[in-house]
Amino acid sequence: MAIPSILVEEKTTEYTVEDVVCPFCGCCCDDLIVTVRDSRIVDVRNACALGASKFLHMNEGRLLKPKIGRFDTAKEVSVDEAIETVANLLKDSSYPLFYGWACTSCESILLGLDLADLLGGAIDNTSIICHGPTVLAGQELGLIAATLGQVKNRADLIVYWGCNPLEAHPRHLARYSVSARGRFIDGRRDRKVVVVDVRRTATARMADLFVEVKPGYDYELLSALKMLVKDLDLEVDEVGGVPVSEIEKLADMMVEARFGALFFGTGLTMSRGRDKNVEAAIELVRCLNFKTKFVLIPMRGHFNVTGANEVFTWRTGYPLSVDFSQGYPRYLPGETTAVDILRRGECDLFFVVASDPISHLPRRILEHLGNIPVVALDPKITPTVYLSDVAIPVAYTGIEVEGTAYRMDTVPLRLKKIVEPPQGILSDVEILGMILEKLRG
């Protein structure tokens, strides 16, 4: 990629890249201005603290050399040697599991799917531990979605359910929802904001209505709302700790909205009931569409976890948890899901790309990793890299390599290359390509 507007000064080289897409969260804000001096990123404007810190601190704790060997026995090796070792491990395996794919480009995910297809392994992405339930629910009923611009231009009611964007997606409110200005809506004063959560979060404090639901009672509350929207009576006095009068108030607000948007987070997808909670939310929005216009949009976490679902779907038909052991894509939650495969100790190799499962999967599930080879591709030293038998450093997607990512509302964006990766470090696309070549060889 050409690096625009290069300002050459005496001795120091400084340039800025504009309209950079932020490779941090699912908001994929695309208005960042990044300044680079002497090949180092020195300033990031427009980003939130979370996004800026990824750019500014990316070189801390980096993995700079491929290694072979676990923990302290690790030895530095060349890229070629590491790739040779990985290819041999893969050749010997009869059911490798590929996992990760949320923090990399679609190009890289496609190569991962190539590998799994070629070897007859299983492949899964990290959405299983965040919004996997959303896609599972989508398979039952269908998602009723819109891009964020529909919300920005039209929505006069915003509902945040089980998410706290002020802390997790800091720019979501200003760019896309609560205070965003569009063609028909002039910012915050034209909108009502509702937050449904188990505690009064920062986001809840700026809402017009905060509904505090008992932890684990989202399904009940959504069911009650569905009843009210369908003009049916509730026989109980409270649901999930919320008095019926308050539920009625929320139902009225929803029905009276001209364009309502329900954003939901892991508070809904990862609490008691998981995908069924999302199904209940979809059912509610279906009913609302008979009376007004309503959409629902998941608050996806990592910047390209949505892309992982998209790429998996177009290549295999299934958004996550795909198994190729029979020679074609198969999918069944609970059978082909990475956590279940690990729990039953069924894979004989664990290949991690752009993720740190050791830190975020339950310990009980990870016990099996003591018995099988683990391979990791990562830009930095993570607990997974530390535990792995082979680890290969890769460049940061969206900072050091370009590629495509999908925003939480499935809008595709091109990530930019802003600086060169450290000497000798390749992109995961290049590394996966080399492994594939060795295997096809």
Binders of another protein among residues 229 to 288 (CB under 8 A) are 230, 232, 234-236, 239, 258-259, 272-273, 276, 283, 286
Residue 279 in tokens: 């199904």
Among 43, 81, 147, 198, binds another protein (CB under 8 A): 147
- Of 67 and 172, the one with the shorter C-beta distance to another protein is 172
If DSSP codes are grouped into helix, strand and coil, which group holds residue 438? helix
- The verdict on 24 binding another protein (CB under 8 A) reads no
Residue 293 in tokens: 């216009």
- The nearest distance, CB 141 to another protein, in angstroms, is 6
State the Cα–Cα distance between residues 308 and 337, nearest whole angstrom.
Answer: 15
- The nearest distance, CB 393 to another protein, in angstroms, is 26
Among 295, 305, 394, 399, binds another protein (CB under 8 A): 295
Binding to another protein (CB under 8 A): which residues in 40-69?
none
Binding to another protein (CB under 8 A): which residues in 379-408?
404, 406
- Of 327 and 359, the one with the shorter C-beta distance to another protein is 327
State the Cα–Cα distance between residues 312 and 310, nearest whole angstrom.
Answer: 6
Binding to another protein (CB under 8 A): which residues in 176-195?
176, 181-184
- Of 91 and 205, the one with the shorter C-beta distance to another protein is 91
- The nearest distance, CB 282 to another protein, in angstroms, is 9
The DSSP-derived string for 200-232 is --HHHHT-SEEEEPPTT-HHHHHHHHHHHHTTP
Binding to another protein (CB under 8 A): which residues in 91-130?
93-95, 106, 110, 114, 117-121
- The nearest distance, CB 66 to another protein, in angstroms, is 26
DSSP state of 371: T
State the Cα–Cα distance between residues 279 and 144, nearest whole angstrom.
Answer: 11
Q: Position 181: which residue type?
A: R
Number of Cβ within a 10 Å radius of residue 408: 26
Contact indicator for 201, 168 with CB cutoff of 8 Å: no
How buried is 94 (Cβ within 10 angstroms: 0-12 exposed, 13-18 middle, 19+ buried)?
exposed
Binding to another protein (CB under 8 A): which residues in 199-218?
217
- The verdict on 219 binding another protein (CB under 8 A) reads yes
- Of 149 and 422, the one with the shorter C-beta distance to another protein is 149
